[in-house]
A and B are shown apart, each in its own frame.
Chain A
């Protein structure tokens, strides 16, 4: 299967669909993504795809089912609990059911009729329906003194919308149930109206804070199906952009976490560092946020001639500032009191519930695709994977510090060893009916783009997957037994994407 990572592909029946999941789980593999497709126009079938990450690389398992009146497939929830929400999303968009009892709408909140399924080929993307809002049955907690706190979808800050339903006694959280899907914008359906050469622009806007990761994943998928090899300088610049994206987000989070712990000084310092980095992006990489930097075949702009020395200077100053702030955070009793033992996600829970990316590493599960299956140019960079054992807010803070410093090392290595040559190459239109996978380790964790090509350079199907799918349910566990006022701190320490999840 064409991909930027080692990738295998297998077609299976319903029984094997579950058996593979069981055997992947038994050898410590992880469920990475799950989605469905309407292929009734081609062979009368619906299909579901599961992607696993295991020691040999990425494994794609495909299961087809008859497109009759009630297409169903076996659920993977028993082996991978994170599958449940993805299966609910598949039903909302395609009308194919997993054999699981929970079919409450996840992405469909009443914005389109129950018998209309947007990702079916016969559904018109431009249909508009009046919203028919329905109550959503949250799981109720009963007992003396238990009450509910409903938060959202509009939150009290400059953040994305989602709903949290807390069941509390006093200030202690007994249960949290999330409801997401508010930002569903029909991105997958929109991909099907775009040409292959334009898809990277939409990919970059799946989750704006991961624009480089997504646009690179899209381009990697397209380049894999067309057999395009990017020039070395182009992939180095992509990696530089990806590391800048990691740095900017980690710096922003470190500041916000200090602020949520009542230490505004941290926010001031880190937001200054972040702003400096964004301005450096503007000067050397064309924009503060690199929405349209990664393009099929390479990158949109080259570094100016004088950039290397100035970038290296910037990294040196930033490293000194971050190290000093780490010292300040580590030695501040009040901050540490809020960070430590707050929002613990144990290694066992993280493993059992399929944690990925940054959150997994902060709970002692050291996976990073940049090191596990390094694609160019990471094959030459020897990325060191950090992890923290304690799984609390303090661990997620410490891990961000570790990763900022490692990213700075990578940036220095990239800038010092920048190859001469072109920053791009032409990408031909792919043949119809090809299937490719692009996987990139973004700052939050691995993001995936699965691309199926149509005739005349069109996109037949494109599925993006955000690590937030796996990590959102974990907050429901990390919050248990904590106080309601610690929720913003815990939530920020996860900093998951709503948009990347709701697509």
Chain B
């Protein structure tokens, strides 16, 4: 126990020590502030892998590491679509996942948002359309926002989640 506690103290709070993110991305501190201002309360996200290579999953998982402090800024991943405000969908939609994706979408209560993550989710990526792939997520369910990248970095994903919420607020009377 002493070892665990002393390691916690020595590790410190990493969220404050985030190095500069790659060019073109907002610094993380600014992003966090915006999420709080826009949301006011927790955003519940359900992730659905509709056929990805699993690269995007790794970066979505990384959002939960201490550098990004996702729950600290009021965003959390939930285990059921029925608890979710937003679906984060990865992958080209494989034919074998088409039905499961549609059913998951239907299970999310209205109003809902859908963000397609990664080059594959955004436009089909390297896999495109074929006998086994329906291509982009938007070809199967309505999509509000897409995130490019292969895989997109956690900062990019976070930024896009925020943009989705902002643009939704600006354009409609959408209440999250």
**A contacts, CB < 8 Å to B:** 107, 109, 111-112, 116, 118, 123-129, 131, 133, 153-154, 156-161, 181-187, 189-190, 201-202, 205-209, 211, 252, 265, 268-269, 271-272, 274-275, 278-279, 282, 288-289, 291, 324, 327-328, 331, 497-499, 502
What sequence of 0s and 1s flags, for each residue 14-35 of chain B, a beta carbon within 8 Å of any chain A beta carbon? 1000010010000000000000
Task: Name the distance in Å between B101's Cβ and chain A's nearest Cβ.
Answer: 8
B38 within 8 A of A: no
Q: Which of B29-82 contact A (CB under 8 A)?
A: 47-62, 64-67, 77, 79-81
In Å, the complex CA distance between A205 and B153 comes to 16
- A327 / chain B contacts, CB cutoff of 8 Å: 3
Known: A153-B97, A159-B49. A111 touches B55 (CB 8 A): no
Q: Are B47 and A499 in contact (CB under 8 A)?
A: no
Given contacts A128-B129, A158-B61, A209-B58, 20 further A-B contacts (CB under 8 A): A109-B95, A109-B96, A153-B97, A156-B80, A160-B54, A161-B51, A183-B91, A186-B133, A208-B52, A209-B55, A268-B65, A272-B11, A288-B153, A289-B59, A291-B55, A291-B150, A327-B3, A498-B54, A499-B51, A499-B52
**Which listed residue (B22, B50, B57, B94) contacts A158, Cβ 8 A?**
B57
Q: Are A158 and B60 in contact (CB under 8 A)?
A: yes
Task: Name the distance in Å between B72's Cβ and chain A's nearest Cβ.
Answer: 12
In Å, the complex CA distance between A473 and B53 comes to 21
In Å, the complex CA distance between A61 and B99 comes to 39
Query: What are 9 A-to-B residue pairs whose CB atoms are below 8 Å?
Result: A125-B130, A154-B100, A161-B51, A182-B97, A183-B51, A186-B131, A272-B11, A272-B67, A289-B59
Task: Name the distance in Å between B86's Cβ and chain A's nearest Cβ.
Answer: 14
Residue of chain B at shortest CB distance from A208: B55
- A154 / chain B contacts, CB cutoff of 8 Å: 48-49, 81, 100, 104
Known: A111-B96, A265-B4. A159 touches B65 (CB 8 A): no
- B132 / chain A contacts, CB cutoff of 8 Å: 111-112, 118, 184-186, 189
Task: Name the distance in Å between B141's Cβ and chain A's nearest Cβ.
Answer: 13
B7 within 8 A of A: yes
In Å, the complex CA distance between A196 and B166 comes to 44
Q: Are B130 and A209 in contact (CB under 8 A)?
A: no
Task: Name the distance in Å between A105's Cβ and chain B's nearest Cβ.
Answer: 10
Known: A207-B54, A499-B52. A156 touches B79 (CB 8 A): yes
B126 within 8 A of A: yes
Task: Name the distance in Å between A465's Cβ and chain B's nearest Cβ.
Answer: 16
Chain B interface residue count, CB cutoff 8 Å, equals 55
In Å, the complex CA distance between A275 and B61 comes to 11
Q: Are A125 and B104 in contact (CB under 8 A)?
A: no
Known: A201-B126, A498-B54. A185 touches B11 (CB 8 A): no
Q: Are A185 and B92 in contact (CB under 8 A)?
A: yes
**B contacts, CB < 8 Å to A:** 3-4, 7-8, 11, 14, 19, 22, 47-62, 64-67, 77, 79-81, 91-92, 94-100, 104, 125-134, 150-151, 153
Task: Name the distance in Å between A333's Cβ and chain B's nearest Cβ.
Answer: 11
Q: Are A184 and B129 in contact (CB under 8 A)?
A: no
Known: A202-B126, A265-B4, A324-B7. A208 touches B14 (CB 8 A): no
- A124 / chain B contacts, CB cutoff of 8 Å: 131
Task: Name the distance in Å between B54's Cβ and chain A's nearest Cβ.
Answer: 5
Residue of chain A at shortest CB distance from B68: A275
Task: Tell me if A's interface is mostly helix, strand, loop or mixed.
Answer: loop
Q: Are A128 and B54 in contact (CB under 8 A)?
A: no
Residue of chain B at shortest CB distance from A112: B131
In Å, the complex CA distance between A289 and B59 comes to 9
- B127 / chain A contacts, CB cutoff of 8 Å: 185-187, 190, 205
Known: A202-B126, A265-B8. A208 touches B96 (CB 8 A): no
Known: A156-B80, A275-B65, A291-B55. A129 touches B131 (CB 8 A): yes
- A205 / chain B contacts, CB cutoff of 8 Å: 53, 55, 125-127, 150
- The 7 A-B residue pairs whose C-beta atoms are closest, nearest first, are A208-B55, A111-B95, A186-B132, A156-B79, A271-B65, A208-B53, A205-B53
Task: Name the distance in Å between A95's Cβ and chain B's nearest Cβ.
Answer: 14
Q: Are A269 and B7 in contact (CB under 8 A)?
A: yes
In Å, the complex CA distance between A207 and B77 comes to 23
Known: A111-B96, A131-B98. A182 touches B51 (CB 8 A): yes
Known: A186-B131, A278-B62. A181 touches B96 (CB 8 A): yes
**Which listed residue (A111, A126, A209) contacts B54, Cβ 8 A?**
A209
Residue of chain A at shortest CB distance from B1: A332
Known: A209-B58, A272-B65, A291-B55. A161 touches B99 (CB 8 A): no
Residue of chain B at shortest CB distance from A270: B65
Q: Are B130 and A161 in contact (CB under 8 A)?
A: no
Known: A112-B95, A184-B96, A272-B14. A279 touches B130 (CB 8 A): no
Task: Name the distance in Å between A495's Cβ and chain B's nearest Cβ.
Answer: 11
Q: Are A272 and B66 in contact (CB under 8 A)?
A: yes
- B11 / chain A contacts, CB cutoff of 8 Å: 268-269, 272
Task: Name the distance in Å between A246's Cβ and chain B's nearest Cβ.
Answer: 14
In Å, the complex CA distance between A324 and B4 comes to 10
In Å, the complex CA distance between A269 and B11 comes to 8
- B14 / chain A contacts, CB cutoff of 8 Å: 272
In Å, the complex CA distance between A193 and B56 comes to 25
Q: Are A275 and B130 in contact (CB under 8 A)?
A: no
Known: A129-B131, A158-B77, A499-B53. A328 touches B92 (CB 8 A): no
- B79 / chain A contacts, CB cutoff of 8 Å: 156-157
